[in-house]
Chain A
């Protein structure tokens, strides 16, 4: 029996919340029985059910993160699947897709199966592996995508670097298509990066840190969009961070290219100015950009150019970060702040309705990769997140469930908080 279901699944009754049901937002109860949604709306009764009082709270489909790093196998000092899944649950996620840059790389069925097994042991949060595009992430030979798909890979990506050779990328798109796999591009031209550590601009000049031009990201986005159009094959662009990158994708979509993309919460909030003081927790790849980029990303998210938000949760050990900026690892531990950053920046500010945000965090990312979307409808698997929209809380990395305490948001006060996360009818996170 799986660990997460050792406690017999009791019925759960969520009382009086604002329910983001598939048919529309409604006030009322949600009854969960046998891991599935039994009833929605009105007043439900269930003797012996665990009751969650949800008056004033949002009851929404479980959040879906299509881009994270769980570090196992190989980097368990940064995170393992159990700690990563616990952090994801705290962040409101009931489905996460983990990238292939583990050690060994997830470029074969054995590693994919290992990840799936470890995830099952960790509990009912769905962990869907993304396999590599090329063996060893070397950008040369294609992985066995057919078999990888069969054992559970939901997409392919060499995330961490681009497939450097354009012809290899073209072939990957073409080949992945016949197995229905989306190719996720990490858009970054290594030559243009040229040792850059932060966004190239005023702050890189003022801080004397080598800068990375936006063009390093945008040239690869343009290249990959063209190749996707050429092969009519599904491309998803990871962590778009620049105004120009979003604009290229806007045009590609307009021209009918089968392209989708994501951005990450930190690009919607933090900017390159945060690198002052050389705190390596601000080091992330792609780097934090400017206020202008941030505003353009929010606009692109709103007009649908950016399909969804993904955390790019990249946990690191203190030793990887507490060093010279140039030597520090790139990445932000993102699961446990993602939702609240988005709520603060997008909903609290009045730019998005709650429904629009939850679409970007749940239905839309699932649609992008063609995976089952959590849905609040009778008969669905009970993947549900309960949100307190009025809560204010201050980020304290020492309270993270993730092993990675690396966040530039420490000490920031955010709005909106995850109170409960239910995956497969089991409470996997219980807030205070």
Chain B
């Protein structure tokens, strides 16, 4: 049972809730790896993906998760909607809400947008990534993958490497992993590390080697080209040399340490092709698990909604 009607982030999600989502996702994974990808869990339910940013994985995996459970899935892309005519977030949200939507899944370039949406609609809201704040379902699928591959999360040493400052994936993972008992070290150039991040429960370093040494999991984060233009680091070349995930650097990790990345990957920048395609890489399995975790979450939020509303 989830305590909140919405899934806005892992900062305010309890350990028990995370546990329950991951357990439920295990059942869902059986469905998506079978030849009968259909369950009745969302029959009669309507979900809408509301995307103010481009996305491949997140949007499609929510849509498929819904369809695999017999729900009605619709999509609103901001670029081809009335948002382009200047309609406000709240007006858009209320419009979609009164079409009978049970769950709205919002991707938005500005932090806090899902929280504002949640205050203004009857539907449940799932944060599918808001600005530089959180991306809870990504962290859930990351944790699911770690648990599946390594047998558990408690006691793991997880290194997150890259643009920590601008990363919603990093924040959600720090919140989730530390709640589940892992120790997290975030690493990158100082210009890409946020202030006082240690207070969130992780350690912070600008020495990527130190972060990777002895790690059970090494997670790379996407570097955006525009960060270089804003002067946060001098070149992609130098970034890769001092902060990228390379084979030499990965040799410092524990034997068989997992390589993870939320995608899309910039090969040769934050991660070399050799590492991204190595046998330790679980980048593609992360995507599969993303569907399972989102099925679990949709199921739990609609189940809860029924119980709350009736």
Contacts and interface: CB of A to CB of B under 8 A. Distances in A.
Interface residues of B, number: 24
A122 B134 CA distance: 49
B13 interface: no
Interface string A187-225: 000000000000011101111111100000000000000
A323 B90 contact: yes
Contact of A323 (B88, B115, B194, B199): B88
Nearest to B9: A208
B27 interface: no
Given A322-B90, A324-B89, A204 B194 contact: yes
Interface in B176-221: 194-197, 199-200
A319 B132 CA distance: 24
Interface stretch (B36-44, B61-69, B105-113, B298-306): B105-113
B171 A208 contact: yes
A197 to B, nearest CB: 8
Interface residues of A, number: 20
A282 to B, nearest CB: 11
B112 A202 contact: no
A207 B130 CA distance: 10
Contacts of B90: 322-323
B116 interface: yes
Contact of A278 (B111, B195, B200): B111
Contact of B200 (A201, A206, A277, A324): A206
B133 interface: yes
A49 interface: no
A322 B119 CA distance: 11
A46 interface: no
B contacts with A: majority SS: mixed
B11 interface: yes
Interface in A301-330: 319, 322-327
B157 interface: no
B168 interface: yes
Contacts of A325: 110-112, 116
A319 B168 CA distance: 28
Nearest to A326: B110
Contact of A205 (B108, B115, B200): B200
Nearest to B117: A324
A205 B112 contact: no
B131 interface: yes
Nearest to A209: B111
A206 B90 CA distance: 24
Contacts of B11: 206
A351 B170 CA distance: 43
Given A323-B88, A323-B89, A326-B131, A208 B111 contact: yes
27 contacts: A200-B195, A201-B195, A202-B196, A204-B194, A204-B195, A205-B194, A205-B196, A205-B200, A207-B111, A208-B111, A208-B112, A208-B131, A208-B132, A208-B134, A209-B112, A277-B115, A319-B88, A322-B88, A323-B89, A324-B110, A324-B112, A324-B116, A325-B110, A325-B111, A325-B116, A326-B111, A327-B110
Given A202-B195, A208-B132, 5 more contacts: A206-B200, A207-B133, A211-B195, A325-B111, A325-B112
Interface of A: 200-202, 204-211, 277-278, 319, 322-327
